[in-house]
């Protein structure tokens, strides 16, 4: 509502609020800028618009001009749950919370950027949207496109397991398999977006509007923890817009005088694909991940091939808040998933649970000190992980066959 222009994150050049994916001058990523004096009114947070569900209660903090263009399925307002059974079992002297982002309508946090992107597409009068994704993002964008009555076009690499696109297809999305890698699928989505003027809703930093919706995670945590800012927020990341958007939300709350400190943001990757962790640890530029990838956390296994700039953007945020990056082994990821499911009762895909294992690791590495408060964003539903093993139940004939 108070958005004024797009600004290049690199050269600071300004552009009108339309669908753009990179600075025409320098190729930098674009960000939404606002009329700060009007945006930073604490009333927008303290008295959100109760005519809308979930994250759209905060529509005055978002770039959409007219609320009649909101395309919503009730996303946002995901619960925060205390995770005492995890901190006790793992002997962590930490005030631990999980934010259940998997409870968004299509089953992942990607509903936040997608509701924003499709609403902007509607406001700008587009008849179709495109997305390169073989997972949560394609499902999310397809669901909002169905809600809006807009065509959704999905690009996946040819090697994608067809089972992963069932959800997007069920919403009516048209799926194309690109002969090549994910990078090729991404390139094709961009060519299609430019050629046909269909907004690209791929949930990297490419669409400047999508990251804005992630700010609402901060507003919700502010409410849910009754104004207390957690010391750390751990976030599973492929490229990092959720981490960056959440931090931007807290920066706004600080600028409004509603909070007095900022959280430290922790990005979490799988050791099997950790281009941003590697750059953080080595103090080197972000390079595309070339090694083979074998991980159960497929949703964050993004080699950043062709858009390492996204990784740099995330590292700038980590640097700004004195945060950290950390990676988990496959065993640690499995342990995290089991803990979220068996100690908390939330069904979680392994990707989404890495934020929890990160806390244990960083506590033992003396990065997160005893007595800290930590919110873990648990980003994807357990239903998304279809390759689960299960044990054949014992067959019983009488009550005496029961063994506990």
Q: What's the CA gap between 20 and 87, in Å, rounded?
A: 44
**Closest distance of CB 89 from a second copy, Å:** 10
Q: Which of 143, 203, 355, 379 binds a second copy (CB under 8 A)?
A: 143
DSSP class per residue in 35-79: -HHHHT-THHHHS--TTS-GGGGGGGGSS-S-GGG---SS-----
Q: Which of 78, 136, 272, 351 binds a second copy (CB under 8 A)?
A: 78
Angle in degrees, 0-180, between the axes of helices 350-364 and 330-339, rounded to the nearest 10: 100
Q: What's the CA gap between 228 and 286, in Å, rounded?
A: 34
**Closest distance of CB 356 from a second copy, Å:** 14
Site for a second copy in 370-389 (CB under 8 A): 381-384, 388
Please provide the distance, in angstroms rounded to a whole number, between the alpha carbons at the two ends of the chain: 58
Q: Which of 12, 170, 228, 281 binds a second copy (CB under 8 A)?
A: 170
Site for a second copy in 267-306 (CB under 8 A): none
Q: And the tokens for 234?
A: 């751990």
Site for a second copy in 312-371 (CB under 8 A): 341-347
Give whichever of 8 and 150 is closer to a second copy, judged by the CB atom: 150
Q: Which of 37, 68, 282, 395 binds a second copy (CB under 8 A)?
A: 395
Q: Which of 11, 26, 46, 166 binds a second copy (CB under 8 A)?
A: 166
Strand partners, 264: 232
Q: Which of 27, 42, 79, 93 binds a second copy (CB under 8 A)?
A: 79
Rounded to the nearest 10°, the torsion over CA 303, 307, 308, 314 is -100
Q: Is beta strand 128-132 parallel, antiparallel or unpaired with respect to 151-157?
A: parallel
Site for a second copy in 199-228 (CB under 8 A): none
298 close to 354: Cβ distance less than 8 angstroms: no
356 close to 386: Cβ distance less than 8 angstroms: no
**Closest distance of CB 170 from a second copy, Å:** 5
Stretch of residues binding a second copy (CB under 8 A), selected from 138-146, 242-250, 271-279, 322-330: 138-146
Q: Which of 5, 65, 147, 335 binds a second copy (CB under 8 A)?
A: 147
**Closest distance of CB 269 from a second copy, Å:** 24
Q: What's the CA gap between 372 and 242, in Å, rounded?
A: 22
**Closest distance of CB 25 from a second copy, Å:** 26
Give whichever of 45 and 244 is closer to a second copy, judged by the CB atom: 45
Sheet containing 14-15: order of strands: 14-15, 3-8, 30-34
Q: Which of 18, 37, 163, 260 binds a second copy (CB under 8 A)?
A: 163
**Closest distance of CB 387 from a second copy, Å:** 10
How many residues at the interface with a second copy, by CB under 8 A? 72
């Amino acid at each position: 509502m108070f958005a004024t222009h797009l600004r290049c994150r690199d050269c600071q050049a300004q552009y009108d609020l339309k669908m753009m994916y990179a600075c025409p001058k320098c190729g930098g990523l674009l960000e939404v800028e606002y009329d700060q004096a009007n945006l930073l009114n604490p009333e927008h947070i303290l008295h959100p618009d109760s005519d809308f569900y979930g994250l759209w209660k905060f529509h005055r903090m978002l770039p959409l001009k007219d609320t009649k263009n909101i395309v919503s399925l009730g996303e946002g307002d995901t619960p925060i749950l205390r995770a005492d059974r995890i901190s006790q079992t793992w002997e962590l002297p930490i005030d631990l919370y999980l934010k259940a982002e998997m409870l968004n309508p299509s089953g992942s946090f990607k509903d936040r950027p997608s509701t924003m992107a499709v609403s902007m597409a509607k406001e700008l009068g587009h008849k179709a949207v495109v997305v390169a994704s073989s997972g949560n993002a394609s499902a999310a964008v397809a669901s909002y496109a169905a809600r809006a009555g807009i065509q959704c076009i999905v690009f996946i690499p040819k090697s994608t397991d067809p089972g992963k696109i069932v959800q997007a297809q069920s919403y009516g999305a048209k799926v194309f398999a690109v002969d090549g890698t994910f990078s090729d699928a991404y390139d094709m989505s961009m060519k299609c977006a430019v050629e046909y003027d269909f907004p690209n809703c791929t949930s990297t930093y490419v669409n400047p509007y999508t990251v804005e919706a992630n700010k609402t995670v901060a507003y919700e945590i502010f409410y849910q923890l009754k104004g207390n800012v957690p010391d750390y927020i751990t976030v599973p990341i492929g490229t990092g817009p959720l981490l960056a958007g959440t931090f931007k939300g807290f920066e706004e709350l600080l600028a409004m005088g509603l909070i007095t400190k900022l959280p430290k943001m922790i990005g979490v990757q799988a050791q099997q694909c950790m281009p941003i962790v590697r750059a953080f640890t080595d103090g080197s530029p972000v390079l595309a991940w070339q090694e083979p990838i074998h991980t159960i956390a497929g949703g964050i296994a993004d080699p950043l091939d062709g858009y390492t700039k996204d990784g740099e953007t995330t590292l700038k945020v980590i640097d700004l808040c004195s945060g950290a990056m950390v990676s988990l082994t496959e065993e640690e990821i499995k342990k995290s998933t089991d803990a979220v499911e068996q100690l908390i009762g939330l069904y979680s895909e392994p990707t989404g649970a890495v934020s929890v294992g990160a806390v244990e690791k960083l506590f033992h590495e003396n990065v997160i000190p005893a007595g800290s408060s930590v919110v873990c964003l648990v980003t994807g539903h357990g239903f998304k992980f279809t390759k689960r093993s299960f044990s054949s139940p014992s067959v019983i004939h009488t009550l005496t066959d029961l063994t506990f």
